Amino acid sequence: MFLSVVIPAYNEEKRIKKTLLQLNDYLSLQRYDYEIIVVNDGSHDATVEVVRKLEIPNLTIMSNEKNYGKGYVVKQGLLRAKGEYRLFMDADNSTSIKELSNFLPYAKNYDIIIGSRNMQGSKIINSQPLHRRILGIFYGLLARLATGLFNIKDIQCGFKLLNAKAVKDILPLCNINGFAFDSEILVIAKKMGHTIKEVPVVWANDVQTKVRFLGMLKMLLDLSRIRWNLVTGKYKS
């Protein structure tokens, strides 16, 4: 299989249908084979029922009875996936699947391709409120200090493509289950010598985003764990 698309979902009954239909519209026109995997993170709304009612080819859902965190379920989906290339993206469709066409030309030369909202050529639609932009800048600075990923302009964009080898090498070493899991994946990738390419994307803010101030605090705690794991050598393969 060429492509797997993994979508983490937690209480996404209002947004997941539109996102999956747009995915189907785009992928059904491509010449490669693909699968779409929705990983339910213990939702207590009708997310699972909404997904199961959709008549979309190659769509499966993995469902957890309890909530583990975005990082946990993304890793679940990526490890379950069969594609040579494995993309994870957000259920709110903040970065459209159409951006994948700008990633694939780099796929043969890079192990990991990540979307960036901060590069020349990127475009932001419906910007975040000022307080969230400030928090984002603050988090990005701390993330670079903690991880040493100074050459990456946007660590957190939820649109990343990994090849199968990178998934198998990196994910067994990951232990961050929250929103900071992106940072951990990139830290381990760099440490193992996997190549990373950053590509500008069109990104649209969704006012229903799940990340709140408490979530930001948890992300900061996870950054400290990542830093500790780096210092103590826990990311050795």
* pLDDT value of position 193: 95
Q: Are 45 and 151 in contact (CB under 8 A)?
A: no
Q: What DSSP letter does each residue of the chain carry, written as one string?
A: --EEEEEEESS-TTTHHHHHHHHHHHHTTSSS-EEEEEEEES-SSSHHHHHHH---TTEEEEEESS---HHHHHHHHHHH---SEEEEE-TT-SS-GGGHHHHGGGTTT-SEEEEESSSTT-EEESPPPHHHHHHHHHHHHHHHHHH--TT-S-S--SEEEEEHHHHHHHGGG----STTHHHHHHHHHHHHT--EEEEE-EEE--TT-S--HHHHHHHHHHHHHHHHHHHTTTT--
Q: So where are the chain's domains?
A: 3-231
pTM of the full structure: 0.92
CATH of domain 3-231: 3.90.550.10
- pLDDT for the residue 7: 98
pLDDT in tens, the chain (237 residues): 999 999 999 999 999 999 999 999 999 999 999 999 999 999 999 999 999 999 999 999 999 999 999 999 999 999 999 999 999 999 999 999 999 999 999 999 999 999 999 999 999 987 766 767 777 778 888 888 888 899 999 998 999 999 999 999 999 999 999 989 999 999 999 999 999 999 999 999 876 555 565 777 888 899 999 999 999 999 976
